[in-house]
Amino acid sequence: MEDLKGNFNWSNFYSCRRMIRSQYPNVYNLKIRKKLKDIVFEELRDGNKILDVGAYDRGLREGIIDKFPSVIYKSMDIDRNNFHDYYNLDEISESFDLIIFSQVIEHLELKEGIFVLEKLFRLLNRGGKIIVSTPNIHHPNRYWDTDHKTPYRYDELGGILFSLGFKIEKIYRIYNAPLLQRFFRIYIASYLHKYLDIDFARSIIVVATKK
């Protein structure tokens, strides 16, 4: 079993994961939301300073600034083909009220992913929040991209964050589709999905607070 340093240890992680499962016994118990943006808007307040990690083309920025004009938005990504405020977490010396870490952690080895989460914990103001999303491994093909390295169950991701000192506020499944398709999946076909243990929700999102 890989040795992981810092604030993480395996026994604490297993205990934290059990606590997450006691609160959310099954992936199908997680509430369904349409979009990451909806959750970001709920957690943001005017005047907050936000860091979007793995921001790609900074696609969230316009919607955030339109709704919250006084928010300070900054992005970090290793891709230098797009403009970002930072290209390495080690460059960052300021702190933030909200950090978005969306569809990134699965691209990292487990040890590296935990190390990044520890760094993000230090970049948050006390009481600040992190929003982490990753592919839902119960979906039949969502995780299987060639550049994905580490799959996470919802309780594993929540357990890791909890073990690093975060308080888990909410865990969601993300599914967005036309109205009739959503109705069919959520209210009619959901029993079959549960029986087969194959989910239609493409991602999971954990919202956590720095205690």
| pLDDT one-digit tens code per residue, 52-95 | 999 999 999 999 999 999 999 999 999 999 999 999 999 999 99
Write the CA distances from 2 to 105, 118, 207, integer angstroms. Answer: 17, 17, 27
Token couple for 54 = 């793995």
Residue 188 CB neighbour total at 10 angstroms: 9
Name the one residue in this structure whose structure tokens are 């290793």: 78
Contacts of 78 (CB under 8 A, 6+ apart): 87, 88
* Residue 44 burial by Cβ neighbours in a 10 Å radius (0-12, 13-18, 19+): buried
φ and ψ at 7, to 5 degrees? -85, -5
CA atoms of 114 and 106, how far apart (whole Å): 11
pLDDT in tens, 101-149: 999 999 999 999 999 999 999 999 999 999 999 999 999 888 888 899 9
pLDDT in tens, 151-198: 999 999 999 999 999 999 999 999 999 989 988 888 888 888 888 889
